[in-house]
Amino acid sequence: MRKHHIDQDRVAELVERCTREVNEGLLPSCQLAIGFKGEIVHDETIGDELPEARYCFFSATKPFVAATVWQLLSENSLELKAPISDLIPEFAENGKADITLEQVLLHTAGFPHAPMGPDVWSNSESRRKRMADWRLNWEPGSRYEYHATSAHWVLAEVVRVVTGNSHTDEVHSRVTEPLGIPRILGLGLDQQTQMADLTLCEGEASPDELEAVFGVREMPPSEVTDETIIRFNDPHTREVGVPGGGGYGRAADLAMFYQALLHNPQGLWDPQMLANAVGRVHNNLPDPMGVPANRGLGVILAGDDGLSNRRGLGRTVSSMAFGHNGVGGQIAFCDPNTGLSFGYTTNGLDRHQIRQPRRGTSIASLAANCAA
Question: Under 8 Å CB-to-CB from 309, ≥6 apart: which residues?
Answer: 315, 361, 364, 365
| DSSP helix/strand/coil, 73 | helix
Has residue 14 been placed in a domain?
A: yes
Kindly state whether residue 12 falls inside one of the protein's structural domains: yes
Percent of the chain with pLDDT over 90: 86
Mean pLDDT of 232-247: 96
- Predicted confidence at residue 341, as pLDDT, reads 98
Q: What total number of domains does the chain contain?
A: 1
92-101, 243-252, 354-363: which range is least confident on average?
354-363
User: 97 in a domain, yes or no?
Assistant: yes
pLDDT at 169 over 90: yes
Q: How many CB atoms lie within 10 A of CB 291?
A: 14
pLDDT at 202: 74
Mean pLDDT of the 159-171 span: 98
The answer on pLDDT for 210 being more than 70 is no
| Cβ–Cβ under 8 Å, residues 229 and 197 | no
Instruction: Please check whether residue 41 is in contact with residue 35, taking contact to mean a CB–CB distance below 8 angstroms.
Output: yes
Distance of alpha carbon 176 from alpha carbon 252, whole angstroms: 12
211 has pLDDT over 90: no
pTM assigned to the model:
0.95
Tell me the per-residue pLDDT of 334-371, one tens digit each, with 9 for 90 and over. Answer: 999 999 999 999 999 887 777 888 999 999 999 999 99
Phi and psi (nearest 5°) for 39?
-130, 165
Residue 126 domain-assigned (yes or no): yes
Per the structure, the complete domain to which residue 105 belongs is given by 8-368
Residue 207's pLDDT is 74
* Rounded distance between C-alpha atoms, residue 313 and residue 47, angstroms: 24
Which has more pLDDT, 228 or 222?
Answer: 228
Residue 218 has what pLDDT? 75
Given this model, what pLDDT does residue 129 score? Answer: 96
Residue 70: the pLDDT is 98
Q: What is the DSSP string of 144-163?
A: ----SSHHHHHHHHHHHHHH
pLDDT digit string, tens, across residues 76-96: 999 999 999 999 999 999 999
pLDDT digits (tens, 9 = 90+) for 118-143: 889 989 999 999 999 999 999 999 99
**Overall average pLDDT of the 6-19 stretch:** 98
Is the pLDDT reported for residue 225 higher than 90? no
The residues, any chain, with a CB within 8 Å of residue 163's CB and separated by 6 or more, are 72, 77, 170
- pLDDT of 212 > 80? The answer is no
Q: Residue 191's pLDDT band (boundaries 50, 70, 90)? A: very high
Residue 104 maps to a domain:
yes
Average pLDDT, the chain: 94
In a domain, 226, yes or no: yes
Residue 3, in any domain of the structure: no
250 inside domain: yes
Comparing CA positions, the residue from 69, 88, 33 lying closest to residue 299 is 69
CATH number of the domain bearing residue 171: 3.40.710.10
Alpha helices (H) along the chain: 8-23, 62-74, 101-105, 124-133, 150-163, 167-171, 207-214, 226-230, 235-240, 251-263, 271-278, 355-368
CA distance 55 to 78: 32
Has residue 57 got a pLDDT over 80?
yes
**Whether pLDDT at 219 is above 70:** no
Evaluate if residue 289 carries a pLDDT over 70.
yes
Res. 71: pLDDT tops 80? yes
